[in-house]
């Protein structure tokens, strides 16, 4: 079954949806959209590092994405303006990554794949990495779900409940870095944050509880992945951007449905 590249692509898209759904909810609740951008853009620098050192791309992207996420979290705790900080780091990381990749022999030919993903070229090994990463993200978020929710609703309430909000922020940072490392093969560094945010934003229109929103985001993410792949096959368009377009259409549909329902 896995010899068919479309089957492998569909399985990769489903794994991506499962990995990004719960994280996307916390990104929406905490208004961290730019945080996802900064982490994803830094992953391109990890690609260059991995290619230069002949390491697995996932290892390089995970290491650099984790460093970037921890750097942002640490600097924000010191009172720096979050929007300005994320803007500077996101664009700087992307620029340094693009420059660094040009120094790696043969990397220029694959640059578009790292920027926009190449889901149609995933292998069985890639599927193992994607689904393993998705399982790790789900397990980590599931383990700390209630604590993360409490810290998201109110840091003061978290302190009163014996929960350290800074620790929960670092756990969320770790999960986000892992999801970015997994997703870069599927949708690329420029589109990772879109798949994190758009399905969760669409689910927010009709979910009545945090758990329902996470499940709805997973379903909408899966529909976006499969719908985007179908559109790419029929219309001969890039698969990664097509998946984001499908997610945007679902978001627009959810918005219209909410307005019609009042």
Contact 184, 61 (CB under 8 A): yes
- Tokens 């979910």 — which residue? 207
* H-type alpha helices, 53-185: 57-77, 82-102, 111-116, 124-143, 145-153, 155-160, 165-183
Our CA dihedral for 19, 229, 244, 45, rounded to 10 degrees, sits at 60
pLDDT at residue 76 tops 90: no
The per-residue pLDDT for range 162-217, each reduced to its tens digit, is 888 888 888 888 888 888 888 887 888 778 888 888 999 999 888 888 999 999 99
Q: What is the pTM of this model?
A: 0.85
Q: Output the pLDDT for position 83.
A: 66
CA atoms within 13 A on the CB side of 56: 10
CA atoms within 13 A on the CB side of 198: 24
- Tokens 């689910």 — which residue? 203
Q: Which of 8-12, 79-83, 102-106, 132-136 has the lowest mean pLDDT?
A: 79-83
Structure token digits, residue 155: 């840091």
pLDDT-based confidence at 2, cuts 50/70/90? very low
The per-residue pLDDT for range 82-120, each reduced to its tens digit, is 667 777 777 887 788 778 777 777 655 566 777 777 888
Question: Domain residue spans in the chain?
Answer: 4-260
Our CA dihedral for 243, 193, 197, 158, rounded to 10 degrees, sits at 150
CATH number of 4-260: 1.10.3470.10
pLDDT-based confidence at 157, cuts 50/70/90? confident
* Rounded average pLDDT over 53-61: 79
For residue 96, how many other CB atoms are within 10 A of its CB?
15
Choose between 237 and 2: higher pLDDT. Answer: 237
């Amino acid at each position: 079954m896995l010899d068919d590249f479309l089957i492998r692509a569909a399985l990769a898209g489903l794994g991506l949806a499962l990995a990004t759904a719960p994280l996307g909810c916390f990104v929406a609740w905490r208004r961290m959209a730019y945080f996802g951008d900064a982490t994803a853009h830094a992953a391109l620098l990890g690609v260059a590092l991995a290619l230069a050192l002949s390491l697995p791309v996932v290892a390089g992207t995970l290491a650099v994405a984790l460093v970037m996420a921890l750097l942002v979290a640490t600097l924000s705790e010191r009172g720096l303006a979050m929007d300005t900080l994320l803007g500077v780091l996101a664009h700087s990381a992307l620029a340094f990554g693009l420059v660094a990749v040009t120094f790696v022999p043969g990397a220029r030919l694959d640059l578009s794949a790292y920027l926009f993903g190449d889901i149609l070229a995933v292998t069985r090994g890639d599927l193992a990495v994607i689904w393993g990463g998705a399982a790790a993200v789900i397990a980590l978020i599931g383990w700390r779900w209630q604590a993360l929710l409490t810290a998201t609703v109110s840091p003061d309430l978290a302190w009163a409940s014996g929960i350290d909000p800074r620790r929960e922020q670092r756990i969320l940072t770790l999960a986000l870095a892992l999801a970015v490392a997994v997703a870069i093969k599927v949708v690329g560094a420029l589109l990772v944050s879109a798949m994190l945010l758009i399905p969760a934003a669409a689910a927010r229109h009709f979910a009545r509880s945090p758990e329902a929103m996470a499940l709805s985001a997973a379903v909408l993410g899966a529909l976006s992945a499969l719908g985007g792949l179908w559109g790419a096959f029929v219309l001969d368009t890039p698969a990664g951007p097509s998946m984001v377009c499908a997610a945007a259409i679902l978001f627009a549909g959810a918005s219209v449905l909410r307005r019609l329902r009042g």
